[in-house]
Chain A
Amino acid sequence: MNPSAERIREKFPTAFVRAEVIWAETTVYLHPESVGDVVRYLHDDEAERYDYLSDVTAVEYRDLELPLQVVWHLRSLPFRRFLRLKAEIPRGAPLSVPSVYPIYKGADWLERECYDMFGIEFVGHPDLRRILMWEQYAEGYPLRKDFPLRGRFSRSEQLRQALAAEPESRYSMTELTIADAFEDLPLEMRQRLAGGEKTGE
């Protein structure tokens, strides 16, 4: 078992639910509301150093009590460790878990996809919108078990709604620009761009 699981159990006794090992991969089950604190500890602590977030996703099981699980895959590159965190959301409880975006910037689109497909709200995410389906999509959350495979609307209605929108409204040109991210770029890259560097063509 990954030694981090034992340390989580000691440091966060109220958050820890259980841990299990399947195929040499450790999974730690946590209470949904405390995921943010645990991930912050795993990222910051010198003995853990989980510096890479592989995935944020969710699974729905045909379980009457705990149907939905939100899953985080963390990887520690210095220690070469892999840790899977899971939060089980009981039936009827609000579908909301803390966002790990303040810790890993890469969680941005992963959490948006999870919100798009399952309707899980990531509290603290700065820009929680649909990412795969268009923003006006009104049929629900496609990966839920109660979502019919062909969608809720008729084929002709789906097509009518799809064609009603202008393509520009789905593909935001402002999202494609790098001007907004200019200040976040490395210094050397900023200098090259500011100097109007020619490409090799």
Chain B
Amino acid sequence: MGLTARPDRQLVTVAPQSQEGWVATRLDFLVNWGRANSLWPMPFGTACCAIEFMATAASKYDLARFGMERMSFSPRQADVLICAGRVPFKLAPVIRRIWQQMLQPKWCISMGACASSGGMFDNYAVVQGIDTIIPVDVYVPGCPPRPEGLIYGIMMLQEKVKRERMSDERLRDEMEPDPTSKLYIPASAIDELSEPFGNSVHQTRSGL
């Protein structure tokens, strides 16, 4: 009623027993507020980070405060993919398939050093960061991150969700790497950038 007609001075009072209770806001704000406070996580736990994730979901840290207590073990009913732990190459097509099965709007949190960058596992079996497979919204550092760290990452994701605009037409675009794009980096250039470093200088790809 408040949205259709100008409220009558006499009708709207400050007396609690006769509150009319109307609110006017941007639709963006309302939708984002609703989304940000009931993100349903899809837990993708592969290693020790998953233990910290369980601790975060349990009673002491209580993920329910953020509307995330409902773990969705079906990707089709999930909003945010939380990748907790290292991803070996054998799992790479699996996590990409899960991401493709999730419906828009969807977000992704990369939890811990291994999911974000491969971490200490700079070897033949482990994907060097899940952002080489799927887009990531928030990276949580740590090995593994404490529950407070994950909660901080979740709150950052909530901030990001609250700033989304529906008028942004490209917001939900899903892009495959496009070789004609100016932002495209060819595989050879990626190899050049990721040459051995640190204590791996004696490792060559030819093996000799």
A residues whose Cβ falls under 8 Å from a Cβ of B: 132-134, 139-140, 142, 146-160, 162-163, 165-167, 170
Contacts and interface: CB of A to CB of B under 8 A. Distances in A.
9 contacts: A132-B90, A140-B207, A149-B122, A149-B124, A152-B206, A155-B194, A156-B190, A162-B90, A165-B93
Interface of B: 89-90, 92-94, 96-97, 122-125, 127-128, 132-133, 187-188, 190-191, 194, 196, 200, 203-208
A139 B187 CA distance: 18
A165 B97 CA distance: 11
A162 B93 contact: yes
Contacts of A149: 122-124, 200, 203
B207 to A, nearest CB: 4
Contact of B207 (A133, A152, A158, A162): A152
A162 B92 contact: yes
B203 A150 contact: yes
A165 B96 CA distance: 12
Nearest to B93: A167
Q: Chain A at the B interface: mostly helix, strand, loop or mixed?
A: loop
Contacts of B196: 150
A91 B88 CA distance: 32
B133 A150 contact: no
Nearest to B118: A155
A160 B125 CA distance: 14
A200 B89 CA distance: 38
Nearest to A140: B207
A6 B132 CA distance: 58
Nearest to B192: A154
A159 B127 contact: yes
Given A149-B122, A151-B123, A153-B205, 18 more contacts: A139-B124, A142-B124, A148-B205, A148-B206, A148-B207, A149-B123, A151-B125, A152-B206, A154-B190, A154-B205, A155-B194, A156-B188, A159-B89, A159-B92, A159-B132, A159-B133, A167-B94, A170-B93
